[in-house]
Amino acid sequence: MNITINKTTEPKQKPQDESSLGFGKIFTDHMFLMDYTPEKGWYDARIVPFGPIPVHPASTVLHYGAEVFEGLKAYRTADGTVQLFRPEANAQRIIDSAERLCMPAPSVEDFVEALKTFVSLEKDWVPHSEGASLYLRPFIYGDDHALGVHTVHHNVFCIIASPSGSYYPEGINPVKIMIEDEDVRAVRGGTGYTKCGGNYAASMRAGERAVQKGFTQVLWLDGVERKYIEEVGSMNVMFKIDGEIVTPALLGSILPGVTRRSCVELLKAEGYKVSERLLSVDELIDACENGKLEEAWGTGTAAVVSPIGELSYKGKNYIVNDFKIGEVTQHLYDELTSIQWGKAPDKYGWVEKLD
């Protein structure tokens, strides 16, 4: 891939106080852009100064939601090296997401090369403090300038980056989760397994209602029977029930998280009993009532793991593990963050260093 680089003449002041970065609020000096048409394929790969992108009022993305995205981080290790965590998995996932929306995506090699070239240029923006990282947001949107509904002709691939603070500035605190039995996020055959913007649009109402009731997020049930556990907000979910680690199987309506997969692989390698299977809400509530639910946690790039301290279902609340982070949850957090920040050897080959 031939990437042209047009550096900004007005670099921004980098944040002095990394403790107040928050998430996704400030952006680096540049962005990566590349266009696609069926005739030309992907063309004009370029890194340009960060700024607004002109959008035609009839652009497909504005009307028909043609958009898929990814989320991953660049980490700075103690010796100053900058590294990515399993970027090929994100590359493959955006290919799968785009395919479902009938959109093109760059090859795995081009996606990773674009990311690495871009992050190398923005290297000084990768935060130095504990737990902080450079959040990377690659996305593809459909951009035909016509209102007819058809497969998009012109697409744009873009990468932006945002230095983001530690997800847990005050230490890891368990969250309260409401099991949603009205709205659904996705159905099999739909777009649940893709990271598309539309899934998020459809999940806002339930999320908002949960927040108003004092919960952090919703736990989704399947879209047909409202019977099986799916995932939490923008995280996958795992439970330790009577010694067994259970996470919902990937049957098309759940996002195949890179963190989920890493947790499953890590736990299996360490000899834990891990089952990817159907888990009904009745089985989960039974486990709560019989004291067999030992731990519950969400998994995702932003938080790594997020312990669940309370579950609410049909107006009843169930406390999990005395509202404390569980042993397996803590272990996963420690193992994954150690690999990501280069504090532990990369024994599974998950880390991709920038040169």
* Contacting positions for ligand PLP (CB under 6 A): 71, 195, 231, 234-236, 255, 257-260, 299-301
Instruction: Decide whether 48 or 251 has the Cβ nearer to ligand PLP.
Output: 251
Q: Which of 165, 297, 288 is nearest to 233 (CA)?
A: 297
Structure tokens at 27: 């952006």
Residue number with CB closer to ligand PLP (35 or 346): 346
- CA quadruple 157, 163, 166, 169: dihedral positive or negative? negative
Q: Give the residue with the Cβ less far from ligand PLP, 121 or 219.
A: 219
Angle at 241 between CA 239 and CA 247, to 5 degrees: 35
- The least distance separating ligand PLP from the CB of residue 168, rounded to whole angstroms, comes to 16
What is the distance of C-alpha 228 from the center of its chain? Answer: 22
Least distance between ligand PLP and beta carbon 96 (Å): 12
Q: Parallel, antiparallel, or unpaired for β 229-232 and 217-221?
A: antiparallel
DSSP state of 123: G
Residue 76 phi/psi, 5° resolution? Answer: -100, 125
Return the number of the residue (174 or 207) whose C-beta is nearest ligand PLP. Answer: 207
Phi-psi map region of 185: left, alpha, beta (phi>0 left; psi -120 to 50 alpha) = alpha
Nearer to ligand PLP (CB atom), residue 164 or residue 234:
234
The terminus-to-terminus CA distance of the chain in angstroms comes to 17
If we measure between CA atoms, which residue out of 205, 195, 283 comes closest to residue 236? 195
Nearest-approach distance from CB 220 to ligand PLP, in angstroms: 9
Q: Provide the minimum distance between the beta carbon of 147 and ligand PLP in the complex, in angstroms, as a whole number.
A: 29
Which of 234, 340 has the CB closer to ligand PLP?
234
Please report how close the Cβ of residue 336 comes to ligand PLP at its closest, in angstroms: 10
CB of 236 to ligand PLP, least distance (A): 5
Q: Would you say 195 and 94 are in contact if contact means Cβ atoms under 8 Å apart?
A: yes
